[in-house]
Amino acid sequence: MNSEPAPITLCVSQKSVYDMDDMKVQLDKRGWVKNVSKTLPVDRIDAESIGLVFFRQNGPQMFCDAVENALRNQSEFRSWYFTIIDALAGKQMVNVCPVSRNRWCEIDIAADLAIAEELFGEMAVRQNCSQTPA
């Protein structure tokens, strides 16, 4: 990863306009994650998480501990994993790795697959998708 090592690293992309369903990311003065939420105000959005998270050092254990705590706490029981990452970001544990300059695309629905095939070539996409467990 081309970023300063951190326990948790979010791959992020920057664009001019963010959709309502984007997982928005606000960065602090150092460029580390300050907040992660779908409901960040427009003036606080610096990037969007593409959903790829890299854990290293004590990051896996910190994340597992936070998930276990959320499962034990009724008010946090239905927390989305980004809620947990947002809380860890408040402890200065989450950095970003920008991917805006790299070729990538999101595949959520069948129509997205056609875009990926155009970007990466039909064979490469089909081969990788067929190897991914459902």
CB 105 within 8 A of CB 112: yes
Q: What is the model's pLDDT at position 104?
A: 77
Q: Is the pLDDT of residue 81 over 60?
A: yes
> How would residue 122 be classed by pLDDT, with cut points 50, 70 and 90?
low
- Structure tokens that stand for 36 in this block: 């992660």
| pTM for the full predicted model | 0.77
pLDDT at residue 61, as a whole number? 96
Indicate the SS3 state at residue 13: strand
pLDDT higher than 80, residue 125: no
Who wins on pLDDT, 79 or 35?
35
Q: List the domains of the chain with CATH numbers.
A: 8-102 (3.90.550.10), 103-134 (no CATH)
Burial of 21 (0-12, 13-18, 19+ CB in 10 A): exposed
Residue appearing with tokens 């969007």: 48
The more confident residue out of 127 and 102 is 102
Taking the C-alpha atoms of residue 57 and residue 74, their distance in angstroms, rounded to an integer, is: 29
Determine whether 47 is exposed, middle or buried from the number of CB atoms within 10 Å of its CB (0-12, 13-18, 19+): buried
What does the pLDDT average to over 30-49? 95
